[in-house]
Amino acid sequence: MKKTMLFLISALSLSILSCKKESSTFDAKSALKMEAQVSSVSNLTIETGMSLAQINQVIAAATAGDTVWVEAGTYTITGKIVMKAGIVLAKKNSVNPVFNATATTTDLLSASYNTELSNCVFSGITFWNYRFVIANAAKVTFKYCIFDYGTRKAGTNETYYSDAYLQFTDTDSTLVNTCTFARRVNNSGRGIWLKSTTNSRILNCSFGNGGTTGYFVTAINDNSESNSLINSNIINRNTTLNADLDQTDHGIYAHSFNGLTISGNTISGWPANGSGGAVKARNGQNVTISGNTFNNSGILLYEYSNTPAYPYLNNVTVLNNNINIDTNVNDIYHGIGYYRDNTTGTEYSFRIEGNIVPNGTISFAGNNINVANFNAANGGVYNNDYGILSLKAGINQSGNY
């Protein structure tokens, strides 16, 4: 009996010791996992495999001026990436991390931001099917980022603007520099939309490759309040989209602006018709379009009656652009043209100079044009190489050939 009791006591002791050992092992693993997570947060590093909640936890630990580093990898994004003012979100090594929101299949995953994005920088991050809607922020910067795989909302056409990867509204001093934008077949759309912004700059970006990533309705919409610079971008549309005019709305489309410079860009692929044009600028003032190369279509200038807040197109300079058109057509679409249907508004000071349009048309012949206003402040048509020149009588001209 004593031997039996001793055996039972020994077995029970071993069982207790075994349980303690397993519990100790479990606790150690949990502690290591928690320690790694705390370390990642304290080091401000988003590590491969983290969930959206963990990503936001790391960002939440940062303060203005800090850089949150993102390791290479693909991260599943199911909601808003929560930012704080003054934070830099940057890739940790040479490979762009991918924030993948393609699980949202009916439209772009749209996230709204306000002043919490002021002074934030996104550097070297790839965003799939993610849309930033940014309002009232200042000095937001995107550089070396990639935007791709945007999903088009079913049933929408060229009037649907809420498919731009980046939308800035009432922002100041935003910068988009050396970023890449892509739109895929059956998912056409926009790249960037500036709305009531000041001092915005879009520099050295690429929009499409003319093939698989070139399904753009419009690359850049500019409805800025003042002082936009769109410089040295390459915009290359897939021309197969031209057959669908419901998905065609100009390469750069600007209206209701005051102070806009479009310079040094190369734009290809939009058709030479009322839905196309490499650049369309209407109902605004103080616009310079200079030193660009446009292929397939050129520059459309308009003053419509349907924008009563801006019943004018004033102080227009079109200077030293190269416009490559396939065939001579005597209209406003195949080169540089102007149209006005507003009988109460007017134009003022158009200077068209030094453009090379050897197989295209320079057309300022509309009946509504006010010749005296067109010529004001050194306006006129000078020193252009053209295929067809069609000007209303009285417009200043010289040196054209």
Enumerate domains of the chain plus CATH numbers.
19-398 (2.160.20.10)
What is the rounded distance in angstroms from the CA atom of residue 347 to the CA atom of residue 24?
A: 82
176-191: average pLDDT: 98
Bridge partners of 110, per DSSP, are 131
Query: For the segment 43-54, what is each residue's pLDDT rounded down to a tens digit?
Result: 999 999 999 999
Residue 4: what pLDDT? 40
What is the rounded distance in angstroms from the CA atom of residue 209 to the CA atom of residue 228?
A: 25
Query: For the segment 80-122, what is each residue's pLDDT rounded down to a tens digit?
Result: 999 999 999 999 999 999 999 999 999 999 999 999 999 999 9
Q: 18 pLDDT exceeds 70?
A: no
Give the three-state DSSP class for 277: coil
Residue 39: what pLDDT? 57
What is the rounded distance in angstroms from the CA atom of residue 235 to the CA atom of residue 293?
A: 10
At how many degrees (to 10) do helices 2-42 and 52-60 cross? 60
What is the rounded distance in angstroms from the CA atom of residue 310 to the CA atom of residue 258?
A: 10
Query: For the segment 131-148, what is each residue's pLDDT rounded down to a tens digit?
Result: 999 999 999 999 999 999
State residue 117 phi and psi, 5-degree precision. Answer: -100, 0
Query: For the segment 190-199, what is each residue's pLDDT rounded down to a tens digit?
Result: 999 999 999 9
Residue 343: what pLDDT? 87
Bridge partners of 127, per DSSP, are 99, 147
Residue 183: what pLDDT? 98
The mean pLDDT value of the chain amounts to 92
Q: Which residue has the tokens 């002074």?
A: 119
Residue 144: what pLDDT? 98
Residue 41: what pLDDT? 86
Nearest to 352 by CA among 316, 302, 322, 298: 316
Residue 236: what pLDDT? 98
> 66 vs 6, 35, 60, 118, CA distance in Å?
64, 22, 11, 14
**What is the pLDDT confidence band of residue 3, given thresholds at 50, 70 and 90?**
very low
State residue 247 phi and psi, 5-degree precision. Answer: -120, 30
What is the rounded distance in angstroms from the CA atom of residue 370 to the CA atom of residue 340?
A: 10
**What is the pLDDT confidence band of residue 300, given thresholds at 50, 70 and 90?**
very high
Q: What is the pTM of this model?
A: 0.90
Query: For the segment 215-228, what is each residue's pLDDT rounded down to a tens digit?
Result: 999 999 999 999 99
> 52 vs 35, 100, 166, 188, CA distance in Å?
19, 10, 20, 27
Residue 15: what pLDDT? 41
From the CB of residue 391, how many other CB atoms can be counted at a distance below 10 Å?
19
Q: 385 pLDDT exceeds 50?
A: yes
From the CB of residue 180, how many other CB atoms can be counted at a distance below 10 Å?
19
**What is the pLDDT confidence band of residue 21, given thresholds at 50, 70 and 90?**
very low
Class of residue 170 by CB neighbours under 10 A (exposed 0-12, middle 13-18, buried 19+): middle
Long-range contacts formed by 81-86: CB under 8 A, 24+ apart: 81/52, 81/55, 81/56, 81/111, 81/130, 82/56, 83/59, 83/113, 83/116, 83/117, 83/120, 84/59, 84/60, 84/116, 84/120, 85/115, 85/116, 85/117, 85/118, 85/119, 85/120, 86/118, 86/119, 86/120
Residue 38: what pLDDT? 56
376-381: average pLDDT: 98
Burial call 312-336: b when 16+ CB within 10 Å, e when fewer: bbbbbbbbebbbbbeeebebbbbbb
300-315: average pLDDT: 95
Q: 37 pLDDT exceeds 90?
A: no
Q: 19 pLDDT exceeds 60?
A: no
